[in-house]
Chain A
């Protein structure tokens, strides 16, 4: 149990376009989802925390208008990178929890902006 599906796994987009990444909890209801980005050889950097039905809480330095997060249901959260630029190229990972000691990660999305 506790499976999180994230897609796409890889995406290449042109500079200035937007990309949507989906994160779904398949067999449990995720009360809270987290979005991270990770640069090569670095640890996870929390971008935002989202609770179903409410606005996401963004970490300091993360532009909420650039990284739009929607958590419309207990099983789905989306991250949209708007007007992407090459510096947004990174590995984006979602994690979901239902409030217990289980945090399940999606498989990650490798975004390359050209």
Chain B
């Protein structure tokens, strides 16, 4: 079956670093995406990993290990505006569908 797991909620302090983990078990794999979603808004693209390793983009980095079925999103220098849900999604090899995790709600405290 298809399964993507990520923590339901995390809390962090402004200015700190937080790592959001995502593990997946899917029948096919053709890339892993991270999206940010603020309440009441559509998701916005953060990162895409298809090969093992770390992709860095400003304050955000994403890591992938295909052999372990594991990814994480690393957010540095947290800002209050980073309070949002973070969605992990795996792309199916055959039909371009994205299989979504339930999302991690990140709460940033001053």
Contact = CB atoms under 8 A, between A and B. Distances in A.
Given A6-B42, A44-B87, 16 more contacts: A34-B97, A41-B105, A43-B100, A43-B103, A44-B100, A46-B97, A49-B96, A93-B43, A99-B96, A101-B48, A101-B50, A103-B45, A103-B98, A105-B44, A106-B42, A108-B40
A34 B98 contact: yes
A32 interface: yes
25 contacts: A32-B96, A34-B97, A43-B100, A44-B100, A46-B100, A49-B95, A49-B96, A49-B97, A93-B43, A97-B96, A99-B96, A101-B31, A101-B33, A101-B48, A102-B45, A103-B33, A105-B42, A105-B43, A105-B44, A106-B42, A107-B41, A107-B42, A108-B40, A108-B41, A110-B40
B101 A43 contact: yes
A82 interface: no
Contacts of A110: 40
* Interface of B (DSSP majority class): loop
Interface string B89-107: 0000001111011110100
A60 interface: no
Interface of B: 31, 33, 40-45, 48, 50, 87, 95-98, 100-103, 105
Which of under 10, 10 to 19, 20 to 34, or 35 or more describes the interface residues of A? 20 to 34
Interface string A68-91: 000000000000000000000001
A91 B33 contact: no
A99 to B, nearest CB: 6
Contacts of B41: 107-108
Interface in A1-40: 6, 32, 34
A91 B100 CA distance: 16
A112 interface: no
Of the listed residues B44, B87, B103, B105, the one surrounded by the most CB atoms of chain A closer than 10 A to its CB is: B103
Nearest to B6: A43
